[in-house]
Amino acid sequence: MPHQANTTDSAQPEWSEFGQRLCCGSGIGELMDDLGHALAAGGDKVHMLGGGQPAHIVEMDALWRKRIEEITATPGELEHMLGNYEPPAGRTSFRRAIADLFRKEFGWELSADNVAITMGGQSAFFCLFNALGGRFADGQQKKILLPLVPEYIGYADQSVGGSLFRSVKPRIEYTGEHEFKYRVDFDNLEVTDDIAAICVSRPTNPTGNVLTDNEIAHLAQLAEDHGIPLIIDNAYGAPFPNVIFTEATPIWNDNIILTLSLSKLGLPGTRTGIVIAKPEIIKAVASMTSIMGLANTNTGQAIAQPLIESGEILRLSNELVQPFYRSKSMQAQAWVKQYFNPTLDYFIHRSEGALFLWAWFKGLPITCRELYERLKARNVLVVPGSYFFFGQDDADWKHRDECIRINFTMPAEDVQAGIRIIGEEVSKAYAEK
């Protein structure tokens, strides 16, 4: 009789270096799993202030429904969207529409050859970081420089081999009684020979910080002086989706890699990322796309293309998306003032964009992870700030354990209740000191 393998007792696979980094879990993976279980257990009682889910804006949802109806009513369009592979760089007409829009609005010398589509912004950064940084044939380990942390948590575990990031502590500027802002500390920002690229998000997830035009210009010049690219993650920025509440001029040149997304317009499920760069970078991104997934999804490109061709995407961003999130931010800040004890040393990062409030509780007697657990026990889900500080040697910097990220996009009653409970738990923690 043939030997039958005992599948119930099978050994764990022996993972490669790649597998050990990506298949065995991560801090953010464990956290998101924890959030998911808590949400399932709590049902409607959970105040979900921890994820990055954009809000459902009624007018935008109606527009997506209308676009789907238009696609289904146009002979051949639905069949093309669902039944055809596009080139690995994306639908040529969509890429041309992106190039035309930016050329018209900002005078950038772009063509379709400067644009690639990816399976969401996350996969774009996976490709870019690992193509530019990591281990080289001569044994050198090159890194991506983050000139300001806290920075987007989605970058942290993207390396396929070895440590990939080096980050710099920010300067902290107090801008109000309970308000502060992070600034790039150029005095301590050093671009060494092992730096492969500089990367910033603008606005920044998690803090809502918007680097000024001067800061961006300074970083762009540093990158150019050292012959490396500046990568700007524009997932929330101008001109679309324009979830930005201050002045910020879009910038691009041959030495800048600019990424955008359709997610924060209200299409996160379509997974449509956009990379604008010199043709050599675009060809590399397309090559990686073809290897990893043959081609990208067509749905987001098909839905958004007419809006980009007409420029309507700019009006929607300026008149619907941006005012919606600005109002949500202002309301959340008002609840913070109502429910946080004003005698405590709490500070909210100046809200300049994105979907979050970043709260710093100076001298917090417990860690932000412990605060997270206390809040979860009361059905409030946030994200501990320590996850957003990576690429640093100084793991003892107390500031990183005193912050949390609060998503304000959920229904108003959830945000209000969640902020009230955060205020109560923080006051308890200080009282126990």
Q: Any idea where the domains of the chain sit in the sequence?
A: 16-59+317-431, 84-310
The CB density around residue 117, as the number of other CB atoms within 10 Å, is 30
* Residue 395: pLDDT over 80: no
For residues 241-259, average pLDDT: 97
Question: Are the C-beta atoms of residues 234 and 259 closer than 8 Å to each other?
Answer: yes
pLDDT tens digits for 93-124?
999 999 999 999 999 999 999 999 999 999 99
Which amino acid belongs to residue 261?
S
CATH among 3.40.50.1440, 3.10.270.10, 3.40.640.10, 3.40.50.300 for 84-310: 3.40.640.10
What does the chain come to in residues?
A: 433
Is the pLDDT reported for residue 282 higher than 70? yes
Which helix (H) or strand (E) element contains residue 41? helix 27-42
**Are residues 120 and 290 in contact, defined by beta-carbon separation less than 8 angstroms?**
no
3-state class (DSSP) for residue 300: helix
The residue type at 323: P
Q: Which CATH number fits domain 16-59+317-431: 3.40.50.2300, 3.90.1150.10, 2.30.30.40, 3.20.20.370?
A: 3.90.1150.10
- In this chain, the answer to whether the domains covering 16-59+317-431 and 84-310 adopt an identical fold is no
Mean pLDDT, range 237-257, rounded to an integer: 96
What is the rounded distance in angstroms from the CA atom of residue 103 to the CA atom of residue 239? 12
Confidence label for 5 from pLDDT (cuts 50, 70 and 90)? very low
Share of the chain above pLDDT 90, in %: 82
Three-class secondary structure of residue 244 per DSSP: strand
DSSP states of 109-145 as a string?
---GGGEEEEEHHHHHHHHHHHHHSEE-TTS-EEEEE
Phi, psi of 256 (to 5 degrees): -110, 135
Q: Nearest to residue 195, comparing CAs of 129, 280, 253?
A: 129
